[in-house]
Amino acid sequence: MNNWQKEDLKYIWHPCSQMKDYEGFPPIIIDHAKGINLYDIEGKCYKDVVSSWWCNLLGHCNPRISNAIKKQLDTLEHVIFANFSHKTAITLCQKLIEVIPKGLCKFNFADNGSASVEMALKMSFQYHIQSGNPQKTRFMALKEAYHGETLAALAVGDCDLYTKLYKPLLLDVIRIDKPDCYRCPYCKHYKTCNAECFERTEKAFEQYGNETAAIIVEPLLQGSAGMKIYSPVYLKKLRTLCNEYNVHLIADEIATGFGRTGKMFAFDWAEVSPDIMCISKGLTGGYMPMSITITTQEIYDAFYSDYLEGKAFMHSHTYAGNPLGCSAAIEVLNILNDEKIIEGVNTKAPIFNNMIKEKFSKLPHIGDIRDIGLINAIELVKDTNTKEPFDSKLRLGYQIYKKALEKGVLLRPLGDVIYFNPPLIIEENDMDFITDTAVECTKEILLNKV
């Protein structure tokens, strides 16, 4: 262990980590980065194929984004966003309005994804109170959802790893059976089905629709659940059902936005619009903490009144509308357009997926290989016939993660689901190296541990 690692462990409590693991596996100290490459203080390179928790969209130290922030820094670094504004935030909204789903038009800024979800839930709740629907006080969400780690965001989430301990503190959320496409009880495939599983959602609305303010979903991709992908038809049907019951449809596009799925937003696959959309992560290319909760004119109007009526949305963040974050986000949108990044995603995606299928399908215990855009996931199972999972105590994914780091690839499996969610600029030679390494590490761990 080098001195920097010792000093890190002396002071820092790392996120989403059992710090005792770090005694034998200390943190890697990164010195600099470029493109999809991270370089530690000893010069070793790591391929970042999880986009540093899914936020790095266009590569590390992208010169265009860096220069945009540097230019902004000499003009205005921050200003209170209550009764003040600035050109950079306004310009960002002008650019976003051109690419977001139709009908969304009002932008409320925050500083991280969880905060954006909290705002969306509060907006919906307050809207119904102020619109003559005081009975609509509950929320619906899918099983195994993940929407962040502040209390309301945890409540609509359903990953026990994050929520179980805190359940006494959480809202009573109506939980709906998720689309389970690998273990589909209807024997369908998400790329061709008619979302037959939606009948379970219909039953939930029949029972609880009149008391529900909103349903929140990760559109098409339940990330922390194991990169579980489902049909756009589900979103189409959900839009219709929400209209019928006057329930807001909240799209958590924090992980799926800005080209990750092969379209600007995952909802674009369904050709329908949510009532509220949460965006973050790729919004600034992974440079600056920023999120936006975007909603409709109708929802906005329910808050627009004389001050003494008490209808204002009293929710604020110190760094809301930060000019540096806005400048990064503007340049991200410019790059996506100028360099035709999403078109490139759709060219690269089948190459990457075919490469993964060809290499991983030769291994034992490969239960499912699924993909959307450049996101690919490989689910390891104990028995491929019954789809029985491995005992989580084996920590196979964690062992593969450590082995891959030795060989210069940053994977961060979700349980026993190995996934790739790289920056959109990834090239074929890196895909080849990454997949070869991942297969090699998986094979080695499976042979030694199973």
User: Which CATH number covers residue 410?
Assistant: 3.90.1150.10
What's the pLDDT score for residue 449?
Answer: 67
Alpha helices in 158-274 (DSSP H): 160-163, 199-208, 232-245
- Across 15-30, average pLDDT: 95
Q: Report residue 74's pLDDT band, with 50, 70 and 90 as the boundaries.
A: very high
Quick one: 216 and 321 in the same domain? yes
- The pLDDT > 70 percentage for the chain reads 100
Quick one: 240 and 299 in the same domain? yes
Pairing of strands 291-296, 104-110: antiparallel
Partner residues linked to 380 by β-bridges:
366
Quick one: 247 and 346 in the same domain? no
| Residue at a domain's end among 338, 364, 394 | 338
Quick one: 381 and 303 in the same domain? no
Q: Provide the domain limits for residue 35.
A: 3-61+341-449
Separation between Cα atoms, residue 282 and residue 280, nearest integer Å? 6
Q: What average pLDDT is seen over the chain?
A: 97
Burial class (CB in 10 A: 0-12, 13-18, 19+), 169: exposed
3-class DSSP assignment, residue 267: helix
Question: Could you count the other beta carbons within 10 Å of the beta carbon of residue 73?
Answer: 12
Separation between Cα atoms, residue 431 and residue 46, nearest integer Å? 13
- Dmax (CA) of the chain: 69
Q: Is the pLDDT of residue 450 over 90?
A: no
Token readout for 184 is 């589909």
Separation between Cα atoms, residue 82 and residue 362, nearest integer Å? 58
3-class DSSP assignment, residue 1: coil
CB 149 within 8 A of CB 114: yes
- Across 395-417, average pLDDT: 96
Start-to-end CA distance of the chain, whole Å, equals 30
Quick one: 314 and 297 in the same domain? yes
Separation between Cα atoms, residue 236 and residue 273, nearest integer Å? 9
Quick one: 345 and 334 in the same domain? no
Q: Is the pLDDT of residue 117 over 80?
A: yes
| pLDDT tens digits for range 176-205 | 999 999 999 999 999 999 999 999 999 999
Q: What is the Cα Rg of the chain in Å?
A: 22
What's the pLDDT score for residue 252?
Answer: 98
Quick one: 219 and 294 in the same domain? yes
- Across 35-46, average pLDDT: 98
Q: Is the pLDDT of residue 85 over 90?
A: yes
E-strand ranges in 208-306 read 212-217, 221-222, 228-229, 248-252, 276-279, 291-296
What's the pLDDT score for residue 409?
Answer: 98
Token readout for 142 is 């899918």
| pLDDT tens digits for range 326-363 | 999 999 999 999 999 999 999 999 999 999 999 999 99
Q: Is the pLDDT of residue 433 over 90?
A: yes
* CB-based contacts of 245, cutoff 8 Å, min separation 6: 205, 209, 210, 212
Q: Is the pLDDT of residue 369 over 80?
A: yes
What's the pLDDT score for residue 448?
Answer: 83
* CB-based contacts of 3, cutoff 8 Å, min separation 6: none
Quick one: 236 and 253 in the same domain? yes
- Across 71-89, average pLDDT: 97
- Across 41-58, average pLDDT: 98
Find the CATH number of the domain harbouring 316: 3.40.640.10
| Residue at a domain's end among 312, 338, 364 | 338
CB 1 within 8 A of CB 26: yes
Torsion of CA 77, 80, 83, 87, to 10 degrees: 10
Pairing of strands 248-252, 228-229: unpaired
CB 342 within 8 A of CB 262: yes
Separation between Cα atoms, residue 291 and residue 108, nearest integer Å? 9
Quick one: 303 and 356 in the same domain? no
What's the pLDDT score for residue 161?
Answer: 87
Separation between Cα atoms, residue 290 and residue 288, nearest integer Å? 6
Question: Could you count the other beta carbons within 10 Å of the beta carbon of residue 177?
Answer: 15
Output the CA–CA distances (angstroms, integers) from residue 360 to 64, 227, 286, 366, 377, in the order listed. 36, 17, 30, 7, 11
Separation between Cα atoms, residue 260 and residue 255, nearest integer Å? 8
Quick one: 324 and 403 in the same domain? no
| Residue at a domain's end among 338, 363, 387 | 338
Quick one: 135 and 217 in the same domain? yes
Helix (H) or strand (E) holding 257: none
Q: How many domains does the chain have?
A: 2
Phi, psi for 212 (deg, rounded to 5)? -100, 130
| pLDDT tens digits for range 252-297 | 999 999 999 999 999 999 999 999 999 999 999 999 999 999 999 9
Quick one: 18 and 122 in the same domain? no
Q: Is the pLDDT of residue 310 over 70?
A: yes
| pLDDT tens digits for range 135-182 | 999 999 999 999 999 999 999 999 998 999 999 999 999 999 999 999
